[in-house]
Amino acid sequence: MQEVAAIHLEHVRFGYRADRPILSIDHLRIPAGRRVFLHGPSGSGKTTLLSLISGVLVPQRGSIHVLGQDLMRLSASSRDTLRGSQIGYIFQGFNLIPYLTVAENIALPCELHRTRRARITSSTLSEEVVRLALRLDIHAHLGETVTRLSTGQQQRVAIARAIIGSPALVIADEPTSSLDTDRRDAFLDLLNEVTMEGNTRNPSPTTLLFVSHDRSLASHFDETLSLPQIAQTVPQAEREA
């Protein structure tokens, strides 16, 4: 029997403008519980692909299944709900809402989604925030505004927000590009550890999709994909059309 797919794309075609396709993926399948590294040069469409997988953007053609749900059959707000409750997202660079404190930033997904909140292991949301903050060594800053934090601290707050309430899928879009090598390795180890830490409330194993243009990070992951390889280049003629 085939493993359950966390992400499954078939014949996906997308362009920010319908007449200018920039991404075309015939087949992409990521089994649940994997830690996958996806690399591709700058401008190859990595962030675009992640927006499609998170259901923020919709392809012009093809089908996308995420965590067993057919995104094409979901309404826009159901996709938003799926993303909020089941996907943790870490951006490159600045990741946090500037007018919220560290603790409020971490708690945000659980404030917005009851199902996600229901999966926390501590008895209250603030206890859960403290637990994660201790784990990620940012507990001293919980009450502070996020702009006071160093980049490394901000990225750890972003991890905490991505993994709170144990989402089934954690997506990281070049989160390490602003960190030096030592901090980058520490960050990757931490991210790997915390996403894989067993969670009794969410029986399905967490899938990690990590995106970067930096191939050297591949060794930290189970599996490596190359975007240029899985994405057929859209024929020049078709692009112009």
Partner 1 sequence: MILLRLAIKSLRSRALATTLTIFSIGLSVTLMVGVDRLRGAAQEGFSGTISRTDLIVGARGGGLPLLLSSVFHIGNASNNISWESYQHFAHHPAVAWTIPISMGDSHHGYRVIATDDNFYKHYIYRRDHSLHFAEGHAPEGLFEVALGADVATRLGYQLGQQVVLAHGIEERSVLNHANTPFTIVGILDQTATPVDRALYITLLGEEAMHYGWSDGTPPAIGETVPQLDPSRLKVDQITAFLLGAKSRVSTLYLQREINTDKAEPLTAIIPAYTLQELWSLLDYADTALSLVSAAVLVVGLLAMLIALYATLNERRREIAILRAVGLHVRQIFILFLFESTLVAAAGTLLGIAAVYVLLFALRGTIENHFGLPVALVGLSKRVELYAAATIVSAAVLGSIPAARAYRNSLVDGLNAQ
Ligand X SMILES: Nc1ncnc2c1ncn2[C@@H]1O[C@H](COP(=O)(O)OP(=O)(O)OP(=O)(O)O)[C@@H](O)[C@H]1O
**Contacting residues toward Mg ion, per CB under 5 A:** 47
- Report, in Å, the least distance between residue 20 CB and ligand X: 8
Q: Closer to partner 1 at the Cβ: 47 or 224?
A: 47
Q: Give the interface segment with partner 1, choosing from 18-26, 45-53, 121-129, 214-222 (CB under 8 A).
A: 45-53
Q: 170 with 88: CB under 8 angstroms?
A: yes
Within the chain, where are the H helices?
46-53, 76-86, 102-112, 114-118, 125-135, 151-163, 181-196, 227-230, 236-240
Cα separation of 192 and 133, whole Å?
Answer: 16
Q: Give the interface segment with partner 1, choosing from 1-9, 32-40, 86-94, 215-223 (CB under 8 A).
A: 86-94
- Write out the binding residues for partner 1, residues 137-166 only, by CB under 8 A: 161
Does 48 bind ligand X (CB under 6 A)? Our answer is yes
Q: Closer to Mg ion at the Cβ: 106 or 171?
A: 171
- Write out the binding residues for ligand X, residues 208-237 only, by CB under 6 A: 213
Residue type, 67: L
Q: Which of 77, 22, 90 is nearest to 228 (CA)?
A: 22
**Dihedral sign, CA of 183, 208, 83, 112?**
negative
> Using CB under 6 A as the criterion, which residues of the chain lie in contact with ligand X when the complex forms?
16, 22, 40, 42-48, 213
